[in-house]
A and B are shown apart, each in its own frame.
Chain A
Amino acid sequence: MTPLIELRKVSKYFGPVVSLKDIDMRVYAGEVHCLLGDNGAGKSTLIKALSGVHQPSEGQIYMEGQPVVFNSPRDALDKGIATVYQDLAMLPLMSISRNFFLGREPKKKVGPFTLYDAAFAAQVAREEMKKIGIDIRDPDQPVGTLSGGERQSVAIARAVYFGAKVLILDEPTSALGVKESAVVLKYIVQAKLRGLGVIFITHNVHHAWAVGDTFTVLNRGRSYGTFKKEEATREQLLQMMAGGEELEALAVELDLIAKKDPTTAAQIEHKAAEELHKPN
């Protein structure tokens, strides 16, 4: 099967800084591909390369087997790659249906005038939201009245409606509570079942594990490789994300402190463990 989108040896340099080095990645239709990594691992640079914000310094991106170049976010969008950023790019004071269609307004002709088809926009916004399981009571209500999870779902529904083949979700659950995260994870699975290739960026292994089919782990701009769910365990992923050797170094350091001051060391260790395992 040809991957929907494929990266071959993609690198990105910013002056002397190596942000990405030799990244290989394949995303297939109907799968959730999780992109994992700690802060600074290169996740953001990678999605920016995929969504047309940056162009790779080296390497090539292929879409359905054909080499492609994304010149701008709009270009990537037109080629079927929709990115839902963390900040959502939604206007809180604008209604759901107007947000949904911003930049791609449905038009109707009335005499010599081209009008914004508000009724059609409201109907589609309501239907599309319903398809992913949200009953919005009123498509005219401002997006600001929606909860974080619901806003996230409007953004996803919009991407799906406008024919995205690849859906990139940048940390969609990082700002959400536990229940809301569960709702968003559900939409991710629904998008996948509708045949989209979903790239799910997160640093929360628990969320990734719940919905992911394949996992690519980034660390310091390099890839640890791609793993199928059955090939890896949650703990291995976590270990890789944190950078195995760094964790070992930390252990040694903690050991040294422990010899001098056993109680503080225990506290630090406990805190570190909590940090790593908290589900955000």
Chain B
Amino acid sequence: MKEVTKEVLIDASNRLLFTMSDSEFNLLLEEFEIIKKQMDLMGHIEGVDDVEPMTFPYEVEVSYLREDSPKEVISKEEALKNAKNVKDGQIKLPKVV
């Protein structure tokens, strides 16, 4: 596992556009330390590599599928409410490609 250092966390927070204080970084580092210890503990369990990883915490089988009938629709105004720039009823972005 990649070692989690303060530099790694700063890099991640920059990429995710989060501003974090020093105390928050330290708290996160402590949490990662705990997680790492737990992982190490599990790593020592005999035959752990032979266990198939689970995706869901419990095995559940459903058969529900939604009927194909349009039900929920929001107004154009509501759809565009959070957009910073709108043009001709569409969300306007600076061109990135």
- A and B, one complex? no
- The chain B residues found within 8 Å of chain A, CB to CB, are none
Q: Could you list which residues of chain A lie within 8 angstroms of chain B, going by C-beta atoms?
A: none
